[in-house]
Amino acid sequence: MSTASHPHAGHTHDPADAHHEDHHGPAKGLTRWLFTTNHKDIGTLYLLFALVMLFVGGAMAMVIRLELFQPGLQFVNPDFFNQMTTMHALIMIFGMIMPAFVGFANWMIPLMIGAPDMALPRLNNWSFWILPFASTILVSTLFMPGGGPAGGWTLYPPLSLQAGNSFPFTIFAIHMLGMSSILGSINIIVTIMNMRAPGMTLLKMPLFVWTWLITAYLLIAAMPVLAGGVTMLLTDQFFGTSFFQAAGGGDPVLFQHIFWFFGHPEVYIIILPAFGIVSQIIPTFSRKPLFGYAAMVYATASIGFLSFIVWAHHMFTVGMPLAGEMFFMLSTMLIAIPTAVKVFNWTATMWRGSLTFETPMLFALAFLFLFTIGGFSGLMLAIAPADFQYHDTYFVVAHFHYVLVPGALFGAIAGAYFWLPKWTGHRYDERLGKIHFWLSAISVNVTFFPQHFLGLAGMPRRIPDYATQFADWNMISSIGSFGFGLSQVLFAYIVFKTIRGGAKATAEVWDQPEGLEWTVPSPAPYHTFDEAPVVK
């Protein structure tokens, strides 16, 4: 963001001027939230919804780790265990992390580009309100006869077609969740393309806006492919088609290609907004502009592009022709290059800066270290001959949890601490924030690092019980996960404490941060930038 405007550049925003006679404050009571078209309200809804789902999905993770605490089955039967692993993934991906980042986008993109609201405010309301209904349907499948989906979030047929009566509900919920993301993405793209303040050229946009622009395109391109795939599952199950049934001339492997054609871009849909948040935070607390802004934009774009041509690296064991294995191995390795560039640029941003370590910075730094570890294990997984050993073991579980938890989730938590004062007008409790950080950072490693060892030693993923030689690391991993789960209760407490009160935050909140969002008062008034700021 080296070329972006300095705070107050060309525009001073006096809160006294903020209200024009054609604008109103929020409506009162429940209808405010039901019918709101305000990007800040909708952003808040998304974020609170994501926080709730973090605990729903987290509770499932706790069931999983409780059962895996020791060998033998103590708490749940294998079928329910499979429902837990499946639902944990679906909830965390579609119900928690994606809505969280859409919430950030809603709140921050208009503020960052000097727009009064999102471009399509009514669509925005609808995008959000689909979510609670879809998620309720998804969770309710657990209580239907035959239970919820138990074939893994990847929904591989023929196994996923053995599901009980809940199957169409699962598919319907996935369709709705996908629809919500697509509508949200359309809104974000239109907002970024059409609503920028005068002078806010594309290459002056904060990196968070850039990463979301690319994410939104990935979503629109990838999510409908999943919708197509699950629709075919549905017609195979109920309408006699044979897309994936060998008996009727179909091929179960075809679904895996369709799924991962969506699934790999999805990985970047989840991580790119976190890249964006971290790219806002590290410069702020280094008191130095982001290093290599243009390279960061290009790296993000090339990651987005490459994500569409690597999908079959999830499928090395299905038996591909040698040429296919080579291609997907090499294209996957290529992704390491733009990713490495990003890590180096963040490090260079800190170089010769003037660093302080408030909670958002701590989470961003943990992101930097731990996402890098996840990146390394990702590179290892790309090596096809070694992948024959890693595939579908706890090594993979460790890998993707390193990129998703201390990666994406820490990015979201860092963003929450970073912007909470802007949203609420109160400073969060820095001491509690730091306690939350250290508890999370330690327990997340205790949880997931041993899983590398388990996978290398030969423990497959998605099993409810295991041979006794895996007992010790599993116990440690479970202890870590309970600690991590409890730490997030502290996070929820800190968030609600900040909403209710606390030290007043200034407009800038931090030490001379860059960006338009810091030129409006804290809390950000209900309507901002009714008059577009001028960006030099």
142 binds another protein (CB under 8 A): no
Which segment (207-215, 256-264, 398-406, 481-489) binds another protein by CB under 8 A? Answer: 256-264
* Active-site position among 279, 300, 393, 443: 279
Is 88 among the residues known to form the active site?
A: yes
What's the rounded Cα separation, in Å, for the pair 23 and 27? 11
In contact, 116 and 529? CB cutoff 8 Å: yes
Is 6 among the residues known to form the active site?
A: no
Q: Is 165 helix (H, G, I), strand (E, B) or coil?
A: coil
What's the rounded Cα separation, in Å, for the pair 497 and 66? 30
DSSP state letters, 27-45: PSSHHHHHH---HHHHHHH
Sequence-distant (6+) residues with CB within 8 A of 7 are 508, 512, 513, 514, 515, 518, 519
Q: Which of 21, 208, 200, 178 is nearest to 95 (CA)?
A: 178
Sequence letter at residue 153: W
What's the rounded Cα separation, in Å, for the pair 250 and 255? 10
7 binds another protein (CB under 8 A): no
Place of tokens 């560039």: 341
Is 342 among the residues known to form the active site?
A: yes
Which segment (12-20, 469-477, 481-489, 518-526) binds another protein by CB under 8 A? Answer: 469-477
**Residue nearer to another protein on the CB measure, 29 or 319:** 319
Burial class (CB in 10 A: 0-12, 13-18, 19+), 327: middle
What's the rounded Cα separation, in Å, for the pair 14 and 347? 37
CA 498 to chain CA centroid, nearest Å: 23
Is 536 among the residues known to form the active site?
A: no
What's the rounded Cα separation, in Å, for the pair 378 and 385? 14
- For residue 514, the minimal CB distance to another protein (Å) is 11
**Binding string, residues 169-188; x marks residues near another protein by CB under 8 A:** -------------x--xx--
- For residue 61, the minimal CB distance to another protein (Å) is 17
Is 122 among the residues known to form the active site?
A: no
Is 466 among the residues known to form the active site?
A: no
Site for another protein in 233-252 (CB under 8 A): 240, 243, 246-249, 251-252
Is 21 among the residues known to form the active site?
A: no
* Active-site position among 39, 175, 342, 399: 342
442 binds another protein (CB under 8 A): no
Site for another protein in 516-535 (CB under 8 A): none
* Active-site position among 266, 358, 514, 517: 266
Site for another protein in 36-95 (CB under 8 A): 70-74, 76-79, 82
- For residue 519, the minimal CB distance to another protein (Å) is 21
Site for another protein in 211-230 (CB under 8 A): 220-229
- For residue 79, the minimal CB distance to another protein (Å) is 4
C-alpha separations of 325 from 114, 263, 297, 338, 391 in Å: 47, 18, 30, 22, 14
Is 264 among the residues known to form the active site?
A: yes
Under rule CB under 8 A, how many of the chain's residues touch another protein? Answer: 130
Q: Which of 425, 464, 513, 515 binds another protein (CB under 8 A)?
A: 464
In contact, 141 and 91? CB cutoff 8 Å: no
Which segment (28-36, 47-55, 94-102, 192-200) binds another protein by CB under 8 A? Answer: 192-200
Site for another protein in 483-512 (CB under 8 A): none
Q: Which of 48, 295, 446, 499 binds another protein (CB under 8 A)?
A: 295
Q: Is 483 helix (H, G, I), strand (E, B) or coil?
A: helix
In contact, 113 and 197? CB cutoff 8 Å: yes
Is 175 among the residues known to form the active site?
A: no
* Active-site position among 268, 346, 417, 428: 268
Site for another protein in 348-387 (CB under 8 A): 348, 350-356, 365, 368-369, 372-373, 376-377, 379-380, 383-386
Instruction: Report the sign of the C-alpha dihedral through residues 449, 452, 458, 460, in that order.
Output: positive
- For residue 398, the minimal CB distance to another protein (Å) is 13
Is 313 among the residues known to form the active site?
A: yes
Beta bridge partners of 460: 393
Report phi then psi at 393, rounded to 5.
Answer: -115, 180
* Active-site position among 46, 107, 129, 153: 153
- For residue 454, the minimal CB distance to another protein (Å) is 9
* Active-site position among 264, 288, 391, 401: 264
* Active-site position among 181, 284, 443, 498: 181
CA 385 to chain CA centroid, nearest Å: 30
Please give the positions annotated as active site: 88, 117, 153, 180-181, 264, 266, 268, 279, 313-314, 339, 342, 461
